[in-house]
């Protein structure tokens, strides 16, 4: 018999490559999870200001969901792996009401997958081959390292066509971006932006579409925070910042790019506080072959019949859904006002935002005021110290910021002044 100690793990090269892929955001979350607050398992745990979650509407969504869950004999049978026709039609209706597509969406334009991350992964699987690459506008949501690269053989290449975190697209920087031969197949964009908490203008979006068309790239727009914006300010017509515009609503898009190259990712996790239900959508109006491909691959992320009916019952009440969207925007705006006033009181620099549930702060000035320079090593030490003292925050490093000193803070929490004192050490 062969010595068991001499037998390797015998994993595929694909699996080994996936294990070796660096995903800083995931590594930090794994480090923090045992420390985080849980009402029963860890009641004295750290406040979770590092994950993007919205607690402001939890009671409302819980009350509504309790009326939406039902069991039927048909739940014991296979449902539609890519979502029932009813669910896909209701998602199309939701987006027709709130994303203002030029051409109304139809149920055939929607594929249901287990989360927005899975939507990105399935699109990459269908649009790029091993050895190809995906370009992403950076800084970017750190789990794209996972969504794009794991088990795909595809590389993720960050590009930085902005002069500042909250700045728009600089065309000179964008056009100077080097495309590596024909190996780059996709441009990945988050709008509203993460971690920035702001939106691209229509002008910038057209620049990005033109750039993609020039290089024959597919474009994936991740719009998962599309309904968590507070521009215009709820109850007014005033806009403090650039409002959100879905790429679906750009008229005559064929002037900038072939429409079959444009794809949208959406989901229920962020705008509807349903992270745990794992419900995401691939939205495509013009590429029938791609829709067929992701419908086939959805067999490996089969849609639960219970989740399907639960969300159908939720979305059918359009009056309640529209109330929820508007109320969520109002509460996010109030939480944003509280947060920014408190940061200003403490002299903490932040990037003005128009999107919940988080805000980016920059603390390098605090060091410069004392004749010091911040570094990624100091940023890491601050992150670790905050966690050990009861607060989990997201450092800029996990979003691939080029400069140290940025932190993303989730503010969509139940406000408690004791929590604030724990975070900033004030009294």
Residue-by-residue pLDDT tens, the chain, 427 positions: 555 555 567 888 888 888 888 899 999 999 999 999 888 888 889 999 999 999 999 999 999 999 998 888 888 888 888 999 999 999 999 999 999 999 999 999 999 999 999 999 999 999 999 999 999 999 999 999 999 999 999 999 999 999 888 788 998 889 888 776 669 999 999 999 999 989 999 999 999 999 999 999 999 999 999 999 986 666 666 667 788 999 999 999 999 999 999 999 999 999 999 998 899 999 999 999 999 999 999 888 888 899 999 999 999 999 999 999 999 999 999 999 999 999 999 999 999 988 989 999 999 888 877 778 899 999 999 999 999 999 999 999 999 999 999 999 999 987 765 454 444 444 3
Domain 13-59+321-424 class, CATH top level:
alpha beta
DSSP H helical ranges for 131-235: 144-149, 171-175, 202-214
- Is pTM beyond 0.95? Reply is no
Domain 72-317 class, CATH top level:
alpha beta
What residues contact residue 174 under an 8 Å CB cut-off, 6+ apart? 159, 161, 207, 208, 211
Pairing of strands 47-49, 184-190: unpaired
- Pairwise CA distance, residues 115 & 266, whole Å: 9
So where are the chain's domains?
Answer: 13-59+321-424, 72-317
Backbone angles phi, psi at 157, to 5 degrees: -115, 115
Pairing of strands 358-362, 110-113: unpaired
Quick check: 187 and 217 in contact, CB under 8 A?
A: yes
């Amino acid at each position: 018999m062969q010595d068991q100690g001499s037998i390797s793990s015998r994993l595929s090269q694909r699996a080994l490559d996936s294990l070796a892929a660096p995903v800083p955001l995931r590594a930090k979350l794994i480090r923090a999870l045992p420390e985080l607050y849980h009402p029963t398992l860890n009641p004295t745990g750290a406040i979770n200001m590092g994950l993007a979650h919205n607690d402001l509407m939890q009671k409302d969504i819980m009350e509504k969901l309790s009326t939406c869950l039902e069991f039927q004999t048909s739940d014991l049978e296979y449902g539609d792996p890519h979502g029932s026709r009813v669910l896909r039609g209701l998602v199309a209706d939701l987006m027709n009401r709130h994303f203002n597509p030029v051409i109304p969406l139809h149920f055939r334009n929607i594929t249901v997958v287990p989360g927005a991350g899975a939507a990105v992964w399935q699109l990459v699987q269908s649009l790029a081959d091993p050895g190809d690459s995906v370009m992403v506008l950076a800084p970017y949501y750190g789990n794209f390292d996972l969504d794009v690269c794991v088990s795909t053989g595809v590389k993720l290449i960050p590009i930085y066509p902005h002069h500042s975190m909250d700045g728009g697209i600089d065309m000179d920087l964008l056009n100077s971006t080097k495309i590596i031969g024909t190996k780059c197949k996709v441009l990945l964009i988050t709008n509203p932006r993460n971690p920035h908490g702001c939106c691209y203008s229509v002008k910038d979006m057209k620049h990005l579409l033109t750039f993609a068309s020039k290089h024959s790239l597919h474009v994936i727009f991740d719009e998962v925070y599309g309904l968590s914006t507070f521009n215009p300010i709820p109850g007014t017509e005033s806009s403090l910042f650039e409002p959100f515009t879905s790429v679906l609503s750009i008229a005559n898009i064929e002037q900038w790019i072939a429409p079959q190259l444009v794809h949208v990712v959406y989901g229920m996790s962020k705008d509807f506080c349903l992270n745990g239900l794992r419900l995401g959508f691939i939205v495509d109006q013009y590429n029938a072959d791609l829709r067929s491909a992701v419908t086939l691959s959805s067999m490996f992320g089969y849609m639960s019949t219970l989740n399907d009916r639960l969300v159908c019952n939720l979305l059918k009440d359009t009056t309640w859904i529209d109330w929820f969207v508007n109320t969520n925007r109002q509460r996010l705006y109030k939480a944003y006002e509280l947060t920014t006033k408190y940061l200003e009181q403490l002299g903490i620099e932040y990037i003005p935002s128009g999107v919940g549930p988080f805000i980016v702060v920059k603390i390098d000035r605090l060091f410069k005021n004392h004749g010091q320079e911040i570094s990624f090593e100091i940023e890491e030490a601050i992150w670790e110290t905050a966690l050990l003292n009861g607060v989990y925050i997201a450092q800029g490093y996990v979003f691939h910021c080029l400069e140290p000193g940025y932190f993303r803070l989730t503010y969509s929490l139940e406000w408690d002044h004791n929590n604030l004192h724990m975070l900033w050490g004030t009294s």
